[in-house]
């Protein structure tokens, strides 16, 4: 299965973003309000992903510097070394990258522009759907259908 197939199956197609100048507390509110684990950082209204800020990033900084980090800019704490994929990448490869890199969110980029975001959950769901189809096909062959 390819990334573009996963993106088509998602309930929402847009990507929530915050500016690098936004306060960490504002980004935390976006995460909480939308019940998501990370938000992409973009300074051009979602055209280009320059970073990502996750719940883990915020919790790590809260433990390290305390509540003061909530008044700092997202740019100070975001992960700026992004691992991205394209719509033509294979889900199995993406799963390997996410597992190896220990992250759960990956921007999808085409021609330098962000076109979506896939999560570890999206990839696992897609892989389970493929396995279910293969199982049904094998059962059909065994049963003679």
Q: Is-above-0.95 flag for pTM? A: no
Average pLDDT, integer, range 19-43: 96
Query: Can you read off the two tokens belonging to residue 35?
Result: 């019940």
How far is it, in rounded angstroms, from Cα 67 to Cα 87?
39
- Mean per-residue pLDDT of the chain: 91
Token readout for 32 is 């909480």
Q: For residue 137, what pLDDT band results from cuts at 50, 70 and 90? A: confident
Structure confidence by residue, pLDDT tens digits, 33-82: 999 999 999 999 889 999 999 999 999 999 999 999 999 999 999 999 99
Select from 46, 17, 53 the least CA-distant residue to 114.
Answer: 46
Domain boundaries defined on the chain: 3-143
The predicted structure's pLDDT at residue 18: 97
Distance CA 90, CA 72 (A): 37
Q: What is the dihedral of CA 91, 127, 11, 18, to 10 degrees?
A: -40
Selected from 3.50.50.60, 3.20.170.30, 3.40.50.300, 3.10.580.10, the CATH number assigned to the domain covering 3-143 reads 3.10.580.10
């Amino acid at each position: 299965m390819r990334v573009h197939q996963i993106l088509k199956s998602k309930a929402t197609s847009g990507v929530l973003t915050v500016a690098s100048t936004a306060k960490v507390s504002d980004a935390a509110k976006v995460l909480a309000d939308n019940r998501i684990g990370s938000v992409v950082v973009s300074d051009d209204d979602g055209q280009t992903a320059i970073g990502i800020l996750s719940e883990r990033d915020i919790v790590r900084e809260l433990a390290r510097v305390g509540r003061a980090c909530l008044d700092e800019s997202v740019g100070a704490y975001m992960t700026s070394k992004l691992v991205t994929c394209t719509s033509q990448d294979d889900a199995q490869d993406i799963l390997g990258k996410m597992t190896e890199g220990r992250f759960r969110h990956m921007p999808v980029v085409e021609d330098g522009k962000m076109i979506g975001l896939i999560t570890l959950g999206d990839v696992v769901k897609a892989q389970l759907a493929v396995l279910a189809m293969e199982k049904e096909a094998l059962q059909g062959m065994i049963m003679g259908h």
